[in-house]
Chain A
Amino acid sequence: MAMDPTDPAAATGRPTLPRSGGPGGWRIAALRLLLLAALLLAWQVASWNMPAFVLPGPLRVWEAWSNLVASPGFWKDLGVTFERVVIGFLLAAVVGVVLGLALGASETLGAMFEPVLTVINTVSSTIWAIFALIWFGLSNWTTIFVVFMTAMPLILTTVWQGTKTVNADYVELARTFRMPRRQVLLKIYLPTILPPFFSSARLAFGFGARVSLVAETLGASSGVGYRLRQAADLVQTDQVFAWTLTLVTLMLALEALILKPLENRLFRWRRRAGES
């Protein structure tokens, strides 16, 4: 799907207040560039007064980043982390949707499991990481488990709440056609919860990606989190900055190139506010 280069939302993947195009769009883009330049300048000035292991300057970080990307292990580490996040996230999405639909479909089940969800939500990701380390040791599953435990409750809760917003009139309509229950879930419930599911999945993926690093610093011998910890141990601050830069870029690209176009395609049927 083509992106509108004048649309600031397309560049950052986030909805922005003044909607796209027009002279306002250009002005915002220019102002943002100005902000970026100011931050870079401040960074540069600050780095002059500090040793490089505390705050390396932008140029030094750029150099470190170029070397990092060129190094043979870079794509491998990135790939390993990405794989763990994606597996954890996909498991979370499947389990979250199925359980969310089940809890939504049965009031008894819902009432029964509500406290369980509260408990899971109060346990911090770091605690999951420690448990995972005990249970799975230094393996892929440690990180996958942590991503799963972070993302799953979020998706489950959204899907479950979403089932409560299902329009009873539509269900009644399906009933007049004697539609089987499984089809009603598929054709009425699923489309209703898709928009909230999509935004929560996006959020869950972001959380998952972030906690995966924590999990990897504790319980992995490969991956981005592991490299970050190595760099910290060796006081290679420029390396830490370079990895951070990589991750931020990747998340932005994911938003702009995959999630945003996918969302536009999936929710074509929605009338945009402000459209006549």
Chain B
Amino acid sequence: MGSVQLRGVSKWFPRREGEPLHVLQNVDLDAPERSIVAIVGASGSGKSTILNIVAGLVRPDAGEVYLNGVPAEAFKDWRSMTYMFQDDRLLPWRTAAQNVSFGLEAGGVGRAERRERVAETLELVGLTGFADAYPHELSGGMRSRVALARSLVTRPSILLMDEPFSKLDPSIRAQMHEEVLRIKELMGMTLLFVTHDVEEAVVLAHKVVVLNPRPGRVRETRTIDLPYPRDPLSPEVAEQARLLRGSL
């Protein structure tokens, strides 16, 4: 459970005037079960569009997406996938706990079980004690954790993350990386995430897909063969990051 494959995916966005914008060209991507795959590329190279296509929010114009080996059109188990957006999208009128509960409400989970799982997940992301805080009362890092908890509470087998930590300062980001790896170990989902920080990609991912812009196509797929946990300051990580940066 939890694999994602893209085969020859292309996408054009219509424009008000002129030719449609060619955003993705013939993109192939493989995220096997329980893997961590990063997509890196310049701004506008179509990284978010890939995640939107995988999440079923945007329809590809050509090619095929397979989820757990099933073509997306025939896929049924959409609630086993969650999507953490580039912005945190916390609902301002809900407390942290209520925001986390949101995903479970859609799935029709009963109140008692919801309460239990929300508390559990808040603890998992280190937010016990902030359950009743409203988003405007939380720091940026804490808001990211709430958004992460909301994506985890349904216990997904596929987690999509779009530059989840790009707005956090470096020390908190490193801490979040550790937490994500710990949670990934615990829950065993497949992680497909976007970043434009190559160090982040190297620290987290088994495999990094490098996208070239206009139109976005896969320039290189690099396997990162380093043992976890990876020290972001180690020479191996620096070397991998340098190689990746070279192909960007």
Contacts and interface: CB of A to CB of B under 8 A. Distances in A.
Interface residues of A, number: 20
B93 interface: yes
A176 B82 contact: yes
Nearest to B55: A176
A118 to B, nearest CB: 31
Contacts, number: 49
Interface in A224-272: 268-271
B92 A176 contact: no
A269 B82 contact: no
B106 A183 contact: yes
Given A178-B78, A183-B105, A170 B89 contact: yes
B231 interface: no
B89 A169 contact: yes
Contacts of B193: none
If over half of A's interface residues share one DSSP class (helix, strand or loop), that class is named, otherwise mixed; here it is: helix
A241 B82 CA distance: 65
A187 B79 CA distance: 18
B165 interface: no
B94 interface: yes
Contacts of A268: 134
A34 to B, nearest CB: 40
Contacts of A269: 92-95, 134, 136
Contact of A169 (B78, B79, B85): B85
A172 interface: yes
B186 interface: no
B103 interface: yes
Nearest to A194: B93
Contacts of B106: 174, 177-180, 183
A76 interface: no
Contacts of A176: 55, 57, 81-83
B110 to A, nearest CB: 15
Contacts of A270: 92
B192 to A, nearest CB: 14
Contact of A187 (B92, B105, B136): B105
Given A178-B106, A180-B106, A187-B102, A173 B79 contact: no
Given A176-B55, A177-B82, A177-B107, A169 B92 contact: no
Contacts of B78: 178
Contacts of A169: 85, 87, 89
Nearest to A268: B134
A271 B136 CA distance: 7
B70 interface: no
B93 A177 contact: no
A175 interface: yes
Interface in A181-223: 183, 187-188, 191, 194
A271 B93 CA distance: 10
Nearest to B78: A178
B93 A191 contact: yes
B183 interface: no
Nearest to B104: A177
Given A178-B106, A183-B105, A187-B102, A173 B92 contact: no
Interface string B61-99: 000000000000000001101110101010111110000
12 contacts: A169-B89, A172-B57, A173-B85, A173-B102, A174-B102, A175-B57, A176-B55, A176-B82, A177-B82, A183-B105, A187-B102, A269-B94
Interface of A: 169-170, 172-180, 183, 187-188, 191, 194, 268-271
Nearest first, the 8 closest Cβ-Cβ pairs linking A and B are A179-B106, A177-B106, A271-B136, A176-B83, A191-B93, A269-B93, A269-B134, A173-B89
